[in-house]
A and B are shown apart, each in its own frame.
Chain A
């Protein structure tokens, strides 16, 4: 050991240089994103306004809640393609249960107004059951999460569409939501959008769960080295299922909020959301190699993505160019992430 230390001293100057290099590589993606943001601000200085800021936070809120769900699964070395359909399912079910009593095209024409908590609980239960099935399939049959959740994604779309078509007015977008519902989701409290408050509460809850409970620690252990977790007596199966179930809870909440945020729901709602959520996690440093990821990372990832999307639209950049830039950012983020943890052999 002593010889290594003297070597360190000799290389002191060199090391600071390589440390700089390391710092740059490790944060390259953020540097690029900040450059894009600065470019946006220069081209359109009005981007720096309270209104834009508020919009970005509001738009990030649901996405963040969903990112926490899939983030936990990514920490387990998994992924979840069924996220979008779960959100759609929750949105359609919540919407169908919470239409104004005087609305013409009601899904359930004769249903009395429900307390808000009832549909919330119903969609949470639905999503956590379906997501729990994902977890069970992955843990029990050792099916790759990509395939297991892809199957779930397709199956869910079928079930969702059958439900969607079964309402009194037939397969029509569900709208005319109860004012209490709309107010709860898109209203504000003390000037802060309620959606942002929900996102903050969820962040706090997830932080505690990931960092302060046995469940959270087991999640990181199973994701980091399933074999080590197993020989230490962690129930890998239960832990995996619970991570998926918790993701389902968040998808349910996300879907509930999303329907009211958009103002309507149909069987296509939520389509593709999984990719946004996964991309945000990856950009935020939640590693696909498993066992690594922080709440702050998910927040940063989601914010970065929303700022860029919003900003590029704000300066009038064509949608198609936006796709190109976003795609490159995702691959670059993963490449740099892999580089960080790559073991040389």
Chain B
């Protein structure tokens, strides 16, 4: 009974700081099959994989590999036992050759020297088996992303992997390269390898999968054989339906067009292509899309943090120049960044500093020195009006909870008196109660006539607080929908609209 499955994950639970991320998740991989793991961003797919590879320790639950219970201590340990993962973001030494990378950490020795000849021959044998046509002596930075991915898969195979996890392997591949990848997967299947395949692309799932497991909000929703599934069924399993009282009432009323963006294309990768849209005064516009769809890049481009190839931004019909963040701030833009810890807060500085830093030149007195009193007063007003929970304004911001940190940062931007607020994942890593307060704040701001763009990976959030939702797919805007009239299924379909046209997209 046990050996029917190569790998069994039983009732795994995991929570971070009281937030449950995985609830009794099960996954069973049969030998010689491809098992697709699906779910929206944040559904718990990568957390589950991290528990499997020992990067996180699960709170409860067990892993069985070939019938035996195990717990890996780190990815290397897993690799040596025949369980390997090819990450979406490749972790390779790009300045070294293919064979150097494949045998890194276990170079064949000949006396005190590395046996280059054996390394070369072994790599060639491996490539022949997998039908990969590359010279092992090529440096990785000379390869395309897909070729580097092939190398990474070959490396996994070279450890005699029984289980290979592929995390969105096709996100940067062209159709031709995808079919090459599928050929390799077929070779591995025939050798009895079990493959866990994580992807958002429906067509691929139906092409390669034997089994499909769907996760939603950290719960195991279901596992089915592919022949029993339809696309619609999977989407329903993934997104669910119900929206409860997690959102304050939407009382803002969008006015006339405030900003219009024409033909915006960014210069460097990841590229946003030909973005055209309008934002109304007092409107909350959501941007939906999968990871890597270019949402963050779009708002960064609006804010002047990315170089544009082409594109014009009009405010109330007048062309403006947002070629750097400084100009954008002068044009009354504000950007709340996605990575609060990395690019938002100054952790060891106090709340006063964190509140006033973006608006610091407004605090100069007539001697050109900073007016402490004015900064203190403004900070106190922010703390009060946004109900920031802190002992006082001298507290270091890192001692506040995530939600309160976020309020300080929003307050910082409000002090610059912006008209257009770009909020990138404003509630990431914030607990439910604090989320509600942030939503309230956003809606209040819109009511005061601020125009707001909210980028979010949480579909309920977008449906809960926005007036319209613009969906991005693979760097392009694939559609804009009225929040009142749309469904999660429609948004999901839009977000995968351009995923399979990579070749076209690359030109």
A interface residue numbers (CB < 8 A to B): 1-4, 7, 208, 212-214, 217-218, 220-221, 224-225, 227-229, 231-234, 291-292, 344-345
Contact = CB atoms under 8 A, between A and B. Distances in A.
B197 to A, nearest CB: 21
Contact of A217 (B94, B107, B503, B506): B107
A212 B91 contact: no
B268 A291 contact: no
Nearest to B93: A224
A320 B76 CA distance: 55
28 contacts: A1-B144, A1-B174, A1-B177, A2-B176, A4-B506, A208-B113, A212-B114, A213-B114, A217-B96, A217-B100, A217-B104, A220-B96, A224-B96, A225-B91, A225-B92, A225-B93, A225-B94, A227-B91, A228-B91, A228-B92, A228-B93, A228-B104, A229-B93, A232-B106, A233-B76, A291-B95, A291-B96, A292-B95
B114 A214 contact: yes
Interface string B468-507: 0000000000000000000000000000000000010011
Interface of B: 74-76, 79-80, 91-96, 100-101, 104-107, 109, 112-114, 116, 144, 174, 176-177, 268, 503, 506-507
Q: Which residue of B80, B92, B104 has the most chain A CB atoms within 10 A of its CB atom?
A: B104
Nearest to B104: A232
| Main SS at interface, chain A | helix
A227 B105 CA distance: 12
B76 A221 contact: no
A234 B114 contact: no
B91 A231 contact: yes
A224 B105 contact: no
Contact of B93 (A2, A7, A208, A221): A221
Nearest to A214: B107
Contact of A224 (B95, B113, B268): B95
Contacts of B74: 231
B504 to A, nearest CB: 9
A208 B110 CA distance: 14
Nearest to A233: B105
Contacts of A217: 96, 100, 104, 107, 114
Contacts of B93: 220-221, 224-225, 228-229, 291
A232 B105 contact: yes
Contacts of A232: 76, 104-106
A1 B104 contact: no
A214 B114 CA distance: 6
10 nearest A-B pairs in the assembled complex, by CB-CB distance: A233-B105, A232-B105, A224-B93, A232-B104, A291-B95, A228-B91, A224-B95, A233-B76, A225-B93, A214-B107
B80 to A, nearest CB: 8
Contacts of B91: 225, 227-228, 231
Given A3-B507, A229-B104, A229-B105, A224 B94 contact: yes
Contact of B105 (A3, A213, A234, A291): A234
Contacts of A224: 93-96
Contacts of A220: 93, 95-96, 100
Contact of B100 (A212, A221, A345): A221
A213 B113 contact: yes
Given A221-B100, A233-B76, A1 B176 contact: yes
Given A1-B144, A224-B96, 20 more contacts: A2-B176, A7-B507, A212-B114, A213-B112, A214-B107, A220-B93, A220-B95, A220-B100, A221-B100, A224-B94, A224-B95, A225-B94, A229-B93, A231-B74, A231-B75, A232-B105, A233-B76, A233-B105, A291-B96, A292-B95
